[in-house]
Chain A
Amino acid sequence: MDTAAIHPRQRERSAPRVVKRSFQLPKPVRTALVYITLWIAFIWAVFPFYWMIATSIRPKDEIFQRPPSLILNGATLQNYIDLLVGAQFWRFAMNSLLLTVSVTIISVLISVTAGYAMARHRFKGSVTLPLFMLYGQMFPPVLLLIPFYVQLRFLGWLDSLWGLIPVYLSYMLPLCVWLMRGFFSQVPFSLEDAARMDGCTRWQAFWKVILPMARPGIVAVATWVMIHTWNEFLYASTFILSDTKRTLPLGLSGLIGQYTTDWGVLMAGGVLTAAPILLVFFILQKQLVSGIGGGAVKG
């Protein structure tokens, strides 16, 4: 696995075909095709989000309009103002922020070390351990609520944001470790050995050589943890009781009525919840480029 070279047999197999290289579209056409495909994918991905935004700024009497209109005839920011002016939203956001930052940092630290160790070293349990950790994720979480609640109550972690951190970690870590192990297994460790021969300590080699190469993987894992912590609902809704300790998703569910829902406000809440993460990712995505793969694949 660690060998980065192409399998010789595969190279043989592919060699004769090179001759009958098939017809290729001219470059501008290919670029245009790529852009068209990207736009289709983009619209498909973003349209429901657009629809949320549209619903959130529509005048209330237009939400049930038939036929629904793709374009807005009028817009109002009232829903956003209502949400943002109340102190509740900011408190929920602060709670979510606190949780997300802590859980993301801790899980990235723990999973980078564990993932690296598992990918780099063959040791007893290096294969079974991560598998066992993953097993914990396979039991439908809803049915673990009661024993979980009992356990947290016993530990005195109920109704506490700090108590929620280990719960989230236990839920995020197995997947993070798995992901990190996968990414690290892609890194050619020969480079690390070379660095150590050049006089780097184990730590320096890891810090200066391996980490930059694994950066896209780390960013991907951090994004995963960030998004899932920010949006986590089930555990928070069960283990957080006080109004002052609620997170944003709990605030959102409070906007869903027993009978009818004010869709404009709910959608505004959804947009406000998603926006910070989108912004963070927009900044982070530049880090998806690693020290080694950095360049583009020329299509």
Chain B
Amino acid sequence: MGARVYPYLMVLPAVLVVVGVVVYPVISGIMTAFYDVTLRTLNTGTAQFVGFRNFERVFADPVFVQASTNTLIWVVLNVVAQLGLGLALALLLHRAMPGIGFFRSGILVPWVVPSVVAVLTWRWMYDPSVGIANEILLKLGILDRYHPWLGDTATSLYAVTVESIWKGTPFVMLLLLAALQMVPRSILEAASMDGASGWRKLWYVILPQIRVSFAIAAVLTFILTVNNFNAIWLMTEGGPLNSSEILFTLAYKYGFQRFDLGKASAVATMLFVGLVIATTVYLKLIQAKEGD
């Protein structure tokens, strides 16, 4: 077998599985956005092609604008905080010292807790009647009375974001920690001999080494955040008064509360296209830099 066939053979299984299972649902999901699919038309098989009608109906919904803004805030806060904290934690945990395994495992806990239970625990901690978060902040003197974090339209989105950052950071930490561990020791030693130390070594030696992993972590965090449904749905259902509504929860409401699957798919398709464009552009930029 020639060396040229090798890589294709090695990639084949992954491609087969993904293409085999995912292609039909995704195409069908996108098609739905262009038909007037409701439970009724779906069941009677009478869904009509409606062109961009579903998209127009989505744009006409005032909630859509708010959900878009919220999505932007939600994504930016999550991605920035998770990457920043994840990198900081990875650097902290990337050392040999007594008890480091204990810290590594502990900091991974949020990721391991089943999402539904984690979200409900946070909701319970935020509760204005029995929430421990309120009690702690009260004891620390930050609050003077229990605050309805999820019930205040000014704080609901941010309260949910905190949970999501808590849950998502360990994954970034783990990826970057693994990447750091793979930086060959010789490079670090060479840098040390050059007299580089501390921040400079981090910035000029370590980060360039792990930048591919960092870029990948960024893409994954981005996708996982946009498609993070549990956190918002189980804590606020997008409320109160749509103050924590993101496009995903809006699509869910269209789809499974109104059973207007065409409209839901229109939102989902927009999200999909947005994600595709954003990731592609980002990765192209990274690659352009790599080729530098």
The interface bits of chain A over 137-179 (1 if a CB of B lies within 8 angstroms of the residue's CB, else 0) are 1111111101110110000000000000011011001110111
Which residue of the partner chain, among B110, B114, B287, contacts A127 with CB atoms under 8 Å? B287
For chain A residues 1-17, which have a beta carbon within 8 Å of chain B?
Answer: 1, 4-7, 10-11, 13-15, 17
**Which residues in A have their C-beta under 8 angstroms from that of B6?**
117, 121
Contact of A186 with B210 in the complex, beta carbons under 8 Å = yes
Contact of B113 with A52 in the complex, beta carbons under 8 Å = yes
Which residue of the partner chain, among B29, B42, B182, B198, contacts A290 with CB atoms under 8 Å? B182
Which residue of the partner chain, among A51, A261, A281, contacts B112 with CB atoms under 8 Å? A281
Contact of B114 with A123 in the complex, beta carbons under 8 Å = no
The interface bits of chain A over 119-143 (1 if a CB of B lies within 8 angstroms of the residue's CB, else 0) are 0110100110101011111111111
Contact of B178 with A216 in the complex, beta carbons under 8 Å = yes
**Which residues in A have their C-beta under 8 angstroms from that of B125?**
48, 51
Interface size on A, residues (CB 8 A): 124
Which A-chain residue is minimally distant from B287 (CB atoms)?
A127
Which residue of the partner chain, among B92, B101, B268, B283, contacts A282 with CB atoms under 8 Å? B101
Q: Does A72 contact B (CB under 8 A)?
A: no
Least Cβ–Cβ distance between A287 and chain B, in angstroms: 10
Q: Does B80 contact A (CB under 8 A)?
A: no
Least Cβ–Cβ distance between A138 and chain B, in angstroms: 4
Q: Does A38 contact B (CB under 8 A)?
A: yes
Q: Does B241 contact A (CB under 8 A)?
A: no
One of B10-18, B52-60, B149-157 at the interface = B10-18
Contact of A51 with B121 in the complex, beta carbons under 8 Å = yes
Q: Does B45 contact A (CB under 8 A)?
A: no
Least Cβ–Cβ distance between B43 and chain A, in angstroms: 11
Contact of B10 with A131 in the complex, beta carbons under 8 Å = no
**Which residues in A have their C-beta under 8 angstroms from that of B15?**
114, 129, 133
Least Cβ–Cβ distance between A271 and chain B, in angstroms: 9
**Which residues in B have their C-beta under 8 angstroms from that of A121?**
6-7
**Which residues in B have their C-beta under 8 angstroms from that of A286?**
101
**Which residues in A have their C-beta under 8 angstroms from that of B205?**
6
List 21 A–B pairs whose Cβ atoms lie within 8 Å, in order of A's numbering: A6-B191, A6-B204, A7-B208, A10-B208, A41-B92, A63-B130, A68-B130, A70-B135, A114-B14, A117-B6, A134-B223, A138-B279, A179-B213, A179-B220, A220-B174, A223-B174, A252-B116, A266-B120, A267-B117, A278-B105, A278-B112
Nearest 6 Cβ contacts at the A-B interface: A270-B117, A170-B21, A117-B10, A296-B96, A147-B28, A136-B22
Chain B interface residues toward A at CB < 8 A: 4, 6-8, 10-11, 13-15, 17-18, 20-26, 28-30, 32, 42, 89, 91-97, 101, 103-118, 120-122, 124-125, 129-132, 135-136, 138, 166, 170-171, 174-175, 177-185, 187-188, 190-192, 194-198, 200, 204-206, 208-210, 212-213, 215-216, 219-220, 223, 226-227, 229, 248, 251-252, 255-256, 261, 264-265, 268-269, 271-272, 275-276, 279-280, 283, 287, 290
Chain A interface residues toward B at CB < 8 A: 1, 4-7, 10-11, 13-15, 17-18, 21, 24, 31, 34, 37-38, 41-42, 44-46, 48-49, 51-52, 55, 63-68, 70, 110-111, 113-114, 116-118, 120-121, 123, 126-127, 129, 131, 133-144, 146-148, 150-151, 166-167, 169-170, 173-175, 177-179, 181-183, 185-188, 213-214, 216-217, 219-220, 223-224, 227, 231, 233, 248-249, 252-253, 256, 261, 263, 266-267, 269-270, 273-274, 277-278, 281-282, 285-286, 288-290, 292-299
